[in-house]
Chains A and B, each alone.
Chain A
């Protein structure tokens, strides 16, 4: 039995989500291989070969893989799938985009966002915004899986000495092209990898008011997040969204500010180790999951908290 993990990378380095997908792969049992599909991706391939527990790194290096177009990456992955019992990717925007395409081409029903592995064919995944945990058994010969990264501890990024193998490259499909990218530049940790997350909700009142969270995030070394209500209201960018249809996080400390605690939001953060909630409404549902609750005006309490840290 061998397992192939699709690496998430920027051609030069491997993204931390990959280390968690490798951890999940190791739990399935069998040899773990990683495939790096990119363009001028030697740096990423080197990093993949150093990941602890990886037996082999496959490299597909060609211009048509430069911008992670789902059509081209999926075609390459399908061409490599024959030798493997399991194909895994982290359930990031990228993995969610590519893997269902791979699954359909292989005539496999994908298992999305697994949170644990019961056996090589049986997995647990959340449904209904995490209000139920479904244990599902795959009847397909091959398993195509995305891994909820908040649910697995990463393997070590170093210590491995995997063999590298350049694979036969599949030609691009030529039906899609990359136009541009507009990524927010930030010195803060990545939301899904941060040890501390400070999130704001509708109670913040405006995009301008969201700025009062910045000094707090600076003090705590935190990533910034937001509830769907805050994103919906235009207070915060969509990629800050924590919840059922946004990102799922499980930091050491989650600070929810002006967030009422809708089910859809709780789905994205209730596995955090310690939750702090600040809200003016003492009856807000967020307090039912918070370890420490503080009732009051956030515009007064947040600066006060910054001062006390």
Chain B
């Protein structure tokens, strides 16, 4: 069974991103970029399934600009077997990415797609579910445990109030939550090895999918600012202020 894992290049988790002064978007020039953290968890899970003999090949895929090659190299260094970059300079919204992933899945025939639940830039939380819908496959989102047996995946999901477990037929789409696993660090030998792994670049135009954006960004503005309040010296003062000033207790 092949596993396809989409990986998105995003602004690094630790960077505080600011709104551009002309309000056309966020200031992302010259900031550190990394693989989306949930996508690293997805790669790790796929690699573990291959190591356990359940999967035969892990294919990492990224959609976007040439620089996404770096992100795919990270996925290869974690342990993906080969990479596909669907290259475009155009803005890609989740529906467009899902259409690209469907086109690639139709070609590659994976038994499983494991995706991050959410990218930390647009915070959409859509691509996995949309891809499942377009392929007509079942989905298990926000996974914290995955077991594959007898042509099905049993997936424990993080839901409001606790956990639920589903059984879904393969092929299927699974999206990862935080606690599914802890991704390994890419070691230097594996980073070197990653450079020799197969790497395919496909032009988005060659896939024949409609990637036209459906959402037009009118502007991006600063969120309302919260200003620091006061420091209180002790518990008694805190309680007094909460009672008489804030009136919340």
Stretch in contact with the other chain, from B1-9, B16-24, B42-50, B191-199: B16-24
Interface residues of A in 35-87 (CB under 8 A from B): 67, 69-71, 74
Q: Residue among A99, A105, A109, A274 with the most chain B CB within 10 A?
A: A109
**B93 on interface, CB distance cutoff 8 Å:** yes
Given contacts A104-B130, A136-B216, A180-B164, contact A238 B139 (CB under 8 A): no
Contact A100 B130 (CB under 8 A): yes
A134 to B154, CA, bound (A): 37
Contact B133 A252 (CB under 8 A): no
Residue of A at shortest CB range from B159?
A93
User: What are the residues of chain A within 8 A of B157 when measuring CB–CB?
Assistant: 93
Of B95, B216, B221, B249, the residue contacting A107 (CB under 8 A) is: B95
A290 to B98, CA, bound (A): 40
**A293 on interface, CB distance cutoff 8 Å:** yes
User: What are the residues of chain B within 8 A of A98 when measuring CB–CB?
Assistant: 129
Residue of B at shortest CB range from A70?
B139
Contact A101 B215 (CB under 8 A): no
Residue of B at shortest CB range from A128?
B17
Contact B236 A245 (CB under 8 A): no
**B123 on interface, CB distance cutoff 8 Å:** yes
User: What are the residues of chain A within 8 A of B208 when measuring CB–CB?
Assistant: none
Stretch in contact with the other chain, from A21-29, A171-179, A202-210: A171-179
Contact B242 A292 (CB under 8 A): yes
Contact A290 B167 (CB under 8 A): no
A183 to B134, CA, bound (A): 31
User: What are the residues of chain B within 8 A of A264 when measuring CB–CB?
Assistant: 13, 120
**A239 on interface, CB distance cutoff 8 Å:** yes
**B52 on interface, CB distance cutoff 8 Å:** no
Of A71, A130, A290, the residue contacting B223 (CB under 8 A) is: A130
Q: Interface of chain B, helix or strand or loop or mixed?
A: mixed
Given contacts A181-B163, A184-B161, A308-B235, contact A135 B123 (CB under 8 A): no
Given contacts A131-B17, A292-B229, contact A109 B160 (CB under 8 A): no
Closest Cβ–Cβ distance, residue B39 to chain A (whole Å): 13
Given contacts A131-B26, A292-B230, A294-B235, contact A263 B16 (CB under 8 A): yes
Q: Residue among B169, B217, B226, B248 with the most chain A CB within 10 A?
A: B248
Contact A71 B123 (CB under 8 A): no
The number of inter-chain residue pairs (CB within 8 angstroms) is: 256
**A305 on interface, CB distance cutoff 8 Å:** yes
Contact A292 B232 (CB under 8 A): yes
Given contacts A69-B166, A101-B132, A239-B162, contact A132 B221 (CB under 8 A): yes
**B239 on interface, CB distance cutoff 8 Å:** yes
Closest Cβ–Cβ distance, residue B207 to chain A (whole Å): 17
Residue of B at shortest CB range from A137?
B216
Contact A127 B122 (CB under 8 A): yes
Of A101, A135, A231, A290, the residue contacting B129 (CB under 8 A) is: A101
Flag A262-296 by CB within 8 Å of B: 1 or 0 each: 01100000100111100000100001111111110
Contact A176 B138 (CB under 8 A): yes
A139 to B96, CA, bound (A): 14
Flag B110-146 by CB within 8 Å of A: 1 or 0 each: 0000000110111111111111111001111110100
Interface residues of A in 106-133 (CB under 8 A from B): 107-113, 122, 126-133
Given contacts A101-B130, A128-B26, A132-B17, contact A253 B120 (CB under 8 A): no
Contact B130 A71 (CB under 8 A): no
**A165 on interface, CB distance cutoff 8 Å:** no
Contact A104 B134 (CB under 8 A): yes
**A103 on interface, CB distance cutoff 8 Å:** yes
**A244 on interface, CB distance cutoff 8 Å:** yes
Interface residues of B in 198-238 (CB under 8 A from A): 213-223, 226, 228-232, 234-236, 238
**A220 on interface, CB distance cutoff 8 Å:** yes
Of B164, B178, B228, B234, the residue contacting A238 (CB under 8 A) is: B178
7 residue pairs A–B, Cβ–Cβ below 8 Å: A127-B121, A133-B221, A134-B217, A184-B162, A228-B178, A231-B179, A245-B120
Given A112-B125, A173-B138, output 16 extra A-B contacts at Cβ < 8 Å.
A100-B94, A107-B95, A109-B95, A129-B120, A131-B17, A138-B214, A181-B162, A181-B165, A231-B178, A238-B177, A252-B248, A253-B248, A270-B223, A270-B226, A275-B229, A308-B235
A-B pairs with the 5 shortest C-beta distances? A109-B214, A291-B229, A104-B130, A100-B129, A183-B162
